[in-house]
């Protein structure tokens, strides 16, 4: 069970923030973030969230064979190599925000060499093609979710962290994510399917057709049906990671579109998980705004990113620390001896 | 003289960024920032901008006696004490982004105690009331600008930094800033005068009347006339800091509305200074968007901030480091052995 955060704790945090030496509300979104961090902690956080981990969930997608991506499927494994070597964007960003990058392999098509920051919980060498059949066998969905929970436990054993940023890697996975968002929100495929890594018009048409085919197979639109029909291994795995992190009351910084699709699955399983979500940014990918709205989340950043890899989530981590330091370290008007408004 | 950045260097940076292991353009605004950092450096930067200084320019405003602020004027000096003690918002944020906070006193009403992070270049104990007379005597304006250049030189001697974030403190200074923005852009006072720290309708009407009175005294609308009529000491001082920093090719991260007004003054003196400006965020203060548009700047963050103190500029510093690390540390598709688009 995931505990809902306590509105009374949030109200107390709000009251404290209103007494700090600044005009009320003048730190805008950072104030709201600080309130959420207090609510998650059940009071003033005990730390500034300087211990931060980034987990990138990787998996391959059968639908990638259907010409829905600008890149060939072997790029998933190649990019994972770059994440672990520190030569990809998330490596550069992680160093900029003083975080460590871990990769959870939920289903890359090829076996990956062991690495101390690779958590290998592979549940299959790529999903099936969602345009033709369920991406994940219905009776395997629970195991993928459990693999996510196991990945979280392994991460816990390997790294000390107070906040967790989540990202994704998987050629073809914007097709899965768009199908998931369409299924949960009732949006037409065309309104949530974007150009991903940069496909052309014909590729986009194939993507929409694939999503429509998967949607047509759904009947009850519960999370397990949607996870099975749409996949992917890394998306369902991420939902499991989220549930495990929220049970430990760890704030979860969501990257972009794919992670938002995973968040919709997690929220369908345990709605209280949403109290632990921090939306890092608004992606260029058109379906992301739809997913964020369904999750009732307002993103912190709007930098026209559309990479994935937790790149946007990484950039939001300093804002989490800033919010925590604001509420923990600033003095009130009374404490600082500063004259107040209206005196 | 401030050198314009070289478009050929920017183009070469753009070309390198397009070869890095990510879809083209997928890091959005961070890519544009990286191009600018390369253009400023004249090539790949030699470092990641981890050495960062924050300078908060402080000064008092005669117009504060006219009921245009929700706070009494003594708050300027009290808040400066908080900046130096580390108990204000900028202290919390600076620690979150690993930067040191310096204060330049350009004209606080009361003498300030010496401090190793206080740069005391006081040019007068507060400006005159711009609603009634020029805020700064016309023949004193050059000296205030020079005080800004001197403050920069002192900061250089006291701190090692590769990027400079600028902020402000001065009760009443949104009135000066709004008057400056109105004067440079031809906007009506009502479209650039906001609620600052949180004034009521009557206060806002007084603020607009004060701005209109100052505008009515202008004739040629050159920077020195505008600086003299509108003030304030810290705003004109900031313009001097900007010119000195740009001469050394140091990227300048602008905070909110008041710093943008100073940037308009600096750009009127030496238009090339704009090549060194990075707009950190879009403030809640309504005139800020007008100023940014006049400066042709697109802000990085939009967090509903309206505090000043360099709080927004501080939060943008990790993005500068992330952009530098992206262009300096990421491998290209060829270097990383990753399959490229369309293969």
What's the pLDDT tens digit per position in A198-241? 889 999 999 999 999 999 999 999 999 999 999 999 999 999 99
pLDDT tens digits, residue range A307-316?
999 999 999 9
| Token pair 């299959």 in the structure block, residue | A124
* pLDDT attached to residue A341: 63
Cβ–Cβ contact B97 with A under 8 A: yes
A70 or B13, higher pLDDT? B13
Nearest to A87 among B79, B330, B343 (CB): B330
Chain A residues with CB under 8 Å of B22 CB are 88-89, 307
Verify whether residue A309 is a known catalytic residue: yes
Flag whether pLDDT at B195 surpasses 90.
no
Nearest CA in chain A to B300: A303
Cβ separation B303–A329 shorter than 8 A: no
Cβ separation A325–B24 shorter than 8 A: no
pLDDT tens digits, residue range A76-105?
999 999 999 999 999 999 999 999 999 999
Residue A341's CB: how many other CB atoms inside 10 A? 15
Cβ–Cβ contact A331 with B under 8 A: yes
DSSP bridge pairs for B164: B53, B252
Chain A residues with CB under 8 Å of B341 CB are 70-71, 197-198
Q: How far is CA B308 from CA A83, A315, B121, B259, B282, in A?
A: 37, 22, 20, 9, 11
* pLDDT attached to residue B341: 63
* pLDDT attached to residue B4: 96
* pLDDT attached to residue A342: 53
pLDDT tens digits, residue range B39-96?
999 999 999 999 999 999 999 999 999 888 888 989 999 999 999 999 999 999 999 9
DSSP bridge pairs for A163: A52
Measured CA to CA, the distance from residue B227 to residue B230 in angstroms comes to 5
Residue A167 and residue A54 in contact, taking contact as beta carbons nearer than 8 Å:
yes
Average pLDDT of the residues in B28-42 = 98
Flag whether pLDDT at A167 surpasses 70.
yes
Flag whether pLDDT at B342 surpasses 80.
no
Residue A94 and residue A100 in contact, taking contact as beta carbons nearer than 8 Å:
yes
The two tokens of residue A34 are 């600080």
Task: Quickly state the pLDDT bin for A161 (edges 50, 70, 90).
Answer: very high
* pLDDT attached to residue B240: 98
Q: How far is the alpha carbon of B283 from chain A, nearest alpha carbon, in Å? A: 10
Nearest CA in chain A to B50: A96
Cβ–Cβ contact B190 with A under 8 A: no
Chain A residues with CB under 8 Å of B314 CB are 322
Residues 6+ apart with CB under 8 A from A236: A106, A136, A141, A144, A145, A148, A227, A262, A265
A198 or A290, higher pLDDT? A290
Average pLDDT of the residues in A187-205 = 92
- Longest distance between any two alpha carbons in chain B, whole Å: 70
Cα B74–Cα B78–Cα B82 angle in degrees, nearest 5:
160
The reply to whether omega before A182 is within 30° of 0 (cis) is no
The two tokens of residue B159 are 């701190």
Nearest to B23 among A70, A93, A339 (CB): A70
* pLDDT attached to residue B343: 42
Average per-residue pLDDT for chain B: 96
| Token pair 């906001």 in the structure block, residue | B194
* pLDDT attached to residue A197: 78
* pLDDT attached to residue A70: 85
Residue B325 and residue A95 in contact, taking contact as beta carbons nearer than 8 Å:
yes
Rg of chain A over CA atoms, in angstroms? 20
Average pLDDT of the residues in B166-193 = 97
Residue B152 and residue B241 in contact, taking contact as beta carbons nearer than 8 Å:
yes
Chain B residues with CB under 8 Å of A71 CB are 23, 339-341
Question: pTM of the entire structure?
Answer: 0.97
User: Nearest 5°: phi and psi at A254?
Assistant: -90, 135
Q: How far is the alpha carbon of B301 from chain A, nearest alpha carbon, in Å? A: 6
Window from A169-178, A196-205, B72-81, B120-129 with minimum mean pLDDT:
A196-205
The reply to whether omega before B253 is within 30° of 0 (cis) is no
Residue ranges with strand state E in B147-187:
163-169
Cα A138–Cα A142–Cα A145 angle in degrees, nearest 5:
125
Flag whether pLDDT at B150 surpasses 60.
yes
Task: Quickly state the pLDDT bin for B229 (edges 50, 70, 90).
Answer: very high
Flag whether pLDDT at A25 surpasses 60.
yes
Cβ separation A71–B318 shorter than 8 A: no
Measured CA to CA, the distance from residue A70 to residue A64 in angstroms comes to 9
Measured CA to CA, the distance from residue B301 to residue B282 in angstroms comes to 6
Measured CA to CA, the distance from residue A196 to residue A285 in angstroms comes to 7
Nearest CA in chain B to A331: B87
Cβ–Cβ contact B202 with A under 8 A: no
Query: Which 8-state DSSP code applies to residue A140?
Result: G
Task: Quickly state the pLDDT bin for A343 (edges 50, 70, 90).
Answer: very low
Nearest to A97 among B82, B315, B318 (CB): B318
């Amino acid at each position: 069970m995931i505990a809902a955060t306590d509105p009374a704790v949030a109200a107390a945090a709000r009251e404290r923030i209103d007494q700090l030496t600044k005009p009320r509300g003048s730190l805008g979104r950072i104030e709201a973030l600080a309130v959420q961090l207090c609510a998650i902690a059940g009071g003033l956080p005990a730390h500034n969230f300087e211990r931060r981990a980034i987990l990138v969930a990787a998996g391959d997608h059968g639908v990638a064979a259907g010409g829905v991506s600008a890149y060939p499927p072997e790029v998933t494994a190649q990019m994972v190599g770059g994440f672990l070597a520190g030569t990809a964007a998330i490596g550069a960003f992680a160093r900029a925000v003083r975080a460590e990058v871990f990769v959870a392999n939920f289903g890359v098509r090829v076996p990956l060499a062991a690495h101390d920051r690779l958590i290998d919980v592979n549940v299959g060498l790529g999903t099936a093609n969602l345009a033709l059949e369920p991406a994940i066998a219905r009776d395997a969905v629970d195991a993928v979710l459990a693999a996510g929970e196991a990945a979280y436990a392994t991460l816990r054993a390997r790294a000390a962290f107070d906040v967790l940023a989540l990202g994704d890697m998987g050629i073809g996975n914007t097709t899965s994510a768009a199908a998931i968002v369409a299924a949960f929100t009732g949006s037409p495929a065309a309104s949530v399917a974007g150009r991903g890594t940069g496909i052309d018009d014909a590729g986009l048409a194939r993507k929409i057709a694939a999503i429509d085919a998967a949607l047509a197979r759904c009947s009850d639109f519960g999370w397990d049906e949607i996870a099975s029909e749409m996949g992917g291994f890394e998306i369902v795995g991420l939902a499991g990671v989220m549930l495990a992190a929220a049970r430990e009351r760890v704030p979860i910084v969501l990257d972009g579109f794919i992670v938002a699709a995973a968040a919709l699955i997690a929220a369908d399983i345990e709605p209280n998980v949403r109290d632990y979500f921090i939306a890092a940014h608004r992606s260029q990918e058109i379906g992301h705004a739809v997913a964020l709205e369904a999750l009732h989340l307002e993103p912190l950043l709007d930098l026209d990113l559309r990479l994935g890899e937790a790149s946007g989530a990484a950039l939001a981590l300093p804002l989490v620390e800033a919010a925590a330091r604001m509420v923990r370290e600033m003095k009130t008007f009374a404490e600082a001896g500063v004259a107040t408004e209206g005196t």
